[in-house]
Amino acid sequence: MKKIPLFLVILLMGAINGTFAQLLQPFKKGDRVVFAGNSITEAGLYENYIWLYYITHFPKERLQVFNGGVGGDVAGQIYARLSKDLLAKDPSVLVVTFGMNDSRYFEYGDTTKTAQVTQDAVDTSYASFLKIEKELKAHSRIQKILMTSSPYDETMQNKDNYFKGKSHTLDLIARFQEEAAQRNGWGFVDLLHPMLDITYREQQQKPDFTLTGPDRIHPGSAGHFVMAYFFLKAQGLAGKPVADIVINAEGKLSRSENAQVKHVQQKEGEISFDYLAHSLPYPIDTLPRVWQNNQIQKEALDVIPFTQEFNQERITVEGLKSGNYILKIDGEEMGTYTAEECGKGINLAEITHTPQYQQALQLMDLNRKHRELEAKFRNYYWVNYDFLQEKGLLLADNAAAMDTIMKHQEDNGWLKAKTNDYKEVVTPSTRKRLEKEMQGLRDEMYRVNKPKKHQVTLTAI
């Protein structure tokens, strides 16, 4: 009997494109969340965007997110470092994502062999995944989540890195990831298809639009933020406001969600009150953070409703006399609004000079510094698993390993770029210092993230 290709078997199984939807449980206090993946994960953006949401929105529920990415990884390489890298972090939640490298690249040059390239890529990836699956089944206390790759943008207007057929291979890998999550009762997050939907929609008007970047592969800051958005949405967190309060013109409080309002005072032409939100607004970065990619996080707001769904710090004052009103927080002017605008609600999270937004910016900066230190450790693991392992020196941390690294500085550009970080992490005293700095940043984030009481006044002009 002729063998049916694995990818056709997957199609017949029916776990296709959205038929399986399992709402993920939000992370909880004390969780240790490890994201395992390739260079997209190693970049450290989407997972830290997710963590920053938890830091700002749930300030009392301390948890830690770990970067478990190594550039270039396929499923087989993730399996190879499961025990000594990923599980060694003692995760309570493990998110596993792969596919971009599994689906291959230059093999698509001969279009007569595309079907065979696809079959070989999917079969190889699936065989490696089965090893991951078997290993993870032995760790029942860990919550497992399978996450698809972000897209390979095959349709953008760009001559570079065009591998016709790669996107279809990614789709087939996503399908077996979905089926595996279903049969194991694990969580599943589909980034691929929702991001492709945005891509196709936007490219109708702007052919060079992409959520990745010039190479079609690596998302920029905006693409990473879209990834974070879909992950948080899968966790059922959309619609949870930073705060939502409603007061009428007579000073009566009719709603207070996730906030405390006290000492409401009303006099002719002015309402004032003490206001304590239980969360902070989510800060949005305006600088590019991915090498050779000019995307900024803020650009994602043009294509996803993050502000509407995740970043509402709304103050509403109903029944005001027509006219204009000055909004002040702690005596500082925030803006001028009409009575109609006040009646519809003012989203403080969109005002970047509120004291609470400035507080959130401090957290964004601390989170970024933590990411940059953690990157040194990811470079250490890259050197070990992508270079030293084949030399028989995996995690040797000795002179032989260092000598081997130094001998290959000029013939391996990636190794050369990561060597200084390797040297820092492999040295016990330096590693201890780096770990202490990271612990200090985590402590500082969970000290700074506590919301503060503010006085709000709305005064008629």
**Looking at residue 209, which CATH number applies to its domain?**
3.40.50.1110
For residues 202 and 322, state if they share a domain: no
**Domain end marker among 168, 199, 234:** 234
Mean pLDDT of all residues belonging to the chain:
95
For residues 227 and 182, state if they share a domain: yes
Q: How far is CA 410 from CA 121, 268, 393, 414, in A?
A: 32, 76, 20, 10
For residues 194 and 269, state if they share a domain: no
Residue 65 bridge partners (DSSP): 33
Kindly tell me if the per-residue pLDDT of 6 is higher than 70.
no
* Amino acid type, 275: Y
Kindly tell me if the per-residue pLDDT of 13 is higher than 80.
no
196 lies in a domain? yes
List the alpha helices (DSSP H) in 14-45: 39-42
For residues 133 and 273, state if they share a domain: no
For residues 228 and 331, state if they share a domain: no
Q: How many domains does the chain have?
A: 2
Element (H, E) at 182: helix 166-184
Domain residue limits at 67: 24-234
CB 10 within 8 A of CB 179: yes
Kindly tell me if the per-residue pLDDT of 18 is higher than 80.
no
Query: CB under 8 Å to 358, separation ≥6 — which residues?
Result: none
For residues 204 and 250, state if they share a domain: no
pTM for the model stands at: 0.95
For residues 230 and 261, state if they share a domain: no
Mean pLDDT, residues 84-103: 98
93-97 and 32-37: which strand pairing?
parallel
pLDDT of res. 444: 98
Query: CB under 8 Å to 365, separation ≥6 — which residues?
Result: none
Q: DSSP label at 434?
A: H
Kindly tell me if the per-residue pLDDT of 433 is higher than 60.
yes
Please, what's the b/e burial string for 13-41 (b: 16 or more CB within 10 A of its CB; e: otherwise)? eebbeeebeeebeebeeebbbbbbbbbbb
Residue 159 — very low, low, confident or very high, per pLDDT cuts 50/70/90?
confident
For residues 169 and 248, state if they share a domain: no
Q: How many CB atoms lie within 10 A of CB 112?
A: 6
102 lies in a domain? yes
Residue 348 — very low, low, confident or very high, per pLDDT cuts 50/70/90?
very high
For 252-291, write each residue's pLDDT tens digit.
999 999 999 999 999 989 999 999 999 999 999 999 999 8
Percent composition of the chain: helix, strand, coil (DSSP 3-state, to 5): 45, 20, 35
